[in-house]
Amino acid sequence: GENVEQHPSTLSVQEGDSAVIKCTYSDSASNYFPWYKQELGKRPQLIIDIRSNVGEKKDQRIAVTLNKTAKHFSLHITETQPEDSAVYFCAASLIYNQGGKLIFGQGTELSVKP
Amino acid sequence: GAVVSQHPSRVICKSGTSVKIECRSLDFQATTMFWYRQFPKQSLMLMATSNEGSKATYEQGVEKDKFLINHASLTLSTLTVTSAHPEDSSFYICSAILGVGSNQPQHFGDGTRLSIL
């Protein structure tokens, strides 16, 4: 089955700096890669996603890149703000053959220092 | 956007009690719902996939007789933790998508924090 590895497990940056979180996946057939932000005790919230027919997607300060050949994808947050502090999870999914179930990475605890 | 409601948000009960958690899609019909468990400072671990009108598909290592899942309608799935013990204490989260093969992302409920004394 699919396995998703996420690094780093913790990341501390100064406000205004960029943050990068990386994930690798094992199943080359996976075709959907969402990123979720989870604050303590709350639901995961989708912040951006990318499908396998696209190499890069951007939404304001957040961008995701996908390298299908290498089977890795990354989250980039620019101009970080203290409210970006949270745990971020990547995930991989095989939409059509497995009903869309998500396999999550281990999570990255991002701390943005003012 | 799509809203998923989960109830209750918090349960504290004695060991041996059975606990039912409800997951509802409020503004869309969800043919597929997922149940996750999340221990403190850990990732979300998929427990099972729930399809309306059929038996749930459990992930390896998840006891189907302990975690009973029912998906009786297009807007409601329930997870019952039977004879709960302290090791079952965790954060349980459901999610829903519009249907198999859909390009829509998963929408998560607020989660249920289960504490077994």
Q: Look at the alpha carbons of B32, B69, B2, A5 in this order and tell me if their dihedral is positive or negative.
A: negative
What integer is the mean pLDDT of A46-60? Answer: 92
The A-side interface with B (CB below 8 A) comprises: 32, 34, 36, 41-46, 49, 51, 89, 95-96, 99-107
Q: Answer whether B46 sits within 8 Å of A43, measured CB to CB.
A: no
Instruction: Report the DSSP beta bridge partners of residue B95.
Output: B34, B108
What pLDDT does B52 receive? Answer: 81
Instruction: With a cut of 80, say whether residue B2 has pLDDT above it.
Output: no
CB-based contact A2:A102 (threshold 8 Å): no
pLDDT at B1: 65
Chain B contact probe: residue of A36, A104, A106, A111 with most B CBs at under 10 A: A104
Q: What is the pLDDT of residues A10-45, one digit of tens each?
A: 999 999 999 999 999 999 889 889 999 999 989 999
State residue B53's pLDDT score: 81
Q: Which residues pair with A86 in a beta bridge?
A: A110
